[in-house]
Amino acid sequence: MPSECTQPAPDVEWMPIREVARQTGVNAVTLRAWERRYGLIVPHRTSKGYRLYNASHVQRIGQVLTWLNRGVSVSQVKALLDAEPARLPPAVANDWERLRSQLITAISQLAERRVDDCFNQAMALYPPVTLCAQLLLPLLAELEQRWQGQFGAQMERVFFHSWLRSKLGARVYHNNRQLNGAPLLLVNQSSLPLEPHLWLCAWLISSADYPVEVFDWPLPAGELALAVERLQARALVLYASQALSLATLPKLLAGRGCPTLLAGPAVTIHQAPLDALLQDIADLHASADLLEVQPWLQQLEQRAPRRPS
């Protein structure tokens, strides 16, 4: 382990934790937790206690993310990183199923504090994209299966969806207060209340350091363009979990004047006709996978970098 109170090597480019968080998408709280609990990433420490990272730290963070995205729990990653490739086990157990089981039990008992505590612990250890891919999206799918024809299903659904909207809405609000610049406008194009995947989408956008305004109800043609204009929105994301009226989509999107992503199951429902619309409507993109939202944002950034605030 490197000395904590020495001068950093002058011939190495050192970065503060906020820059490493920006480059890797792993927030500072999680980086500190990885260091403190598991010794995964051990930065240089200055005499005043500031953490400094270099390119090798960033590379190791990328390796950690690779394992996490394969479904490995964070507590097992260090042994895998330190092992010789020939000695790696063919399959590694993980605790995602245990976490989902704990959450389902707490949800079935309407135990809000336990749901909150379990989620907070996971949020401190995993980046949002990993948490969505390995915990929240499988959890929502498992819950929907559980709720088919079960007595009390609507009670559990309303309880959990209300909690999720409140939790993620608070995170988005907090991040918005810290961020400047033109927001993204996220609009729910479905008539379902408390749409959980909409709020996951908002959280993923927000965790990529974009301010996001969430409209949790569809807007009529004309008013959507007006909302984009008044917010001076950098981009527009339409989330749709239900079938859309594709005949009215060109009119809805007329005059918006910004890049637009259509996200959610509607993309799969309308795959063939949407392919034609994507050719006809300028700057319209589509993805059924919520995890593709952040790569789309990165492409947007490459095309038109944000102006300094």
Which pLDDT tens digit goes with each residue over 79-89? 888 876 655 55
- What pLDDT is recorded for position 76? 87
For the chain, the domain total comes to 3
Any domain includes 308: no
67 shares its domain with 115: no
Any idea of the CA torsion for 204, 141, 214, 257, to the nearest 10 degrees?
80
pLDDT tens digits along 78-122 = 988 887 665 555 555 567 888 999 999 999 999 999 999 999 999
Residues 21 and 122 in one domain: no
Q: Is residue 216 part of a domain?
A: yes
Residues whose CB falls within 8 Å of the CB of residue 75, separated by 6 or more in sequence, listed in order: 38, 95
- 201/254 same-domain check: yes
The confidence score (pLDDT) of residue 92 equals 53
* DSSP, residue by residue, 17-44: HHHHHHHHS--HHHHHHIIIII-SS--E
Q: What is the pLDDT of residues 123-136, one digit of tens each?
A: 999 999 999 999 99
282 and 254 part of one domain: yes
pTM for this structure? 0.84
Q: Are residues 154 and 208 in the same domain?
A: no
Share above pLDDT 70 across residues of the chain, in percent, rounded to a whole number: 91
Residue 89 covered by a domain: no
Torsion of CA 27, 29, 31, 33, to 10 degrees: -150
| Structural domain ending residue among the three candidates 35, 55, 83 | 83
Give a yes or no: residue 2 inside a domain.
Answer: no
Same domain, 186 and 294: yes
Say if strands 44-45 and 51-53 run parallel, antiparallel, or are unpaired.
antiparallel
Q: What are φ and ψ of residue 44, in 5° steps?
A: -75, 145
Residue 69 binned pLDDT confidence (cut-offs 50, 70, 90): confident
Domain assignment present for 66: yes
Q: What is the pLDDT of residues 190-245, one digit of tens each?
A: 988 889 999 999 999 999 999 999 999 999 988 999 999 999 999 999 999 999 88
Give the single-character DSSP code of 291.
G
Is 119 among the domain residues?
A: yes
Would 296 be classed as within a structural domain? yes
Residues 188 and 262 in one domain: yes
Domain span at residue 59 reads: 15-83
186 and 287 both lie in a single domain = yes
Instruction: Tell me: pLDDT of 9 over 80.
Output: no
pLDDT for 4: 46
Domain boundary among 31, 48, 83: 83
Confidence category of residue 70, pLDDT binned at 50, 70, 90: confident
Q: Are residues 40 and 68 in the same domain?
A: yes
Domain CATH number, residue 76 = 1.10.1660.10
Residue 281 has pLDDT above 60, yes or no: yes
Is 276 part of any domain?
yes
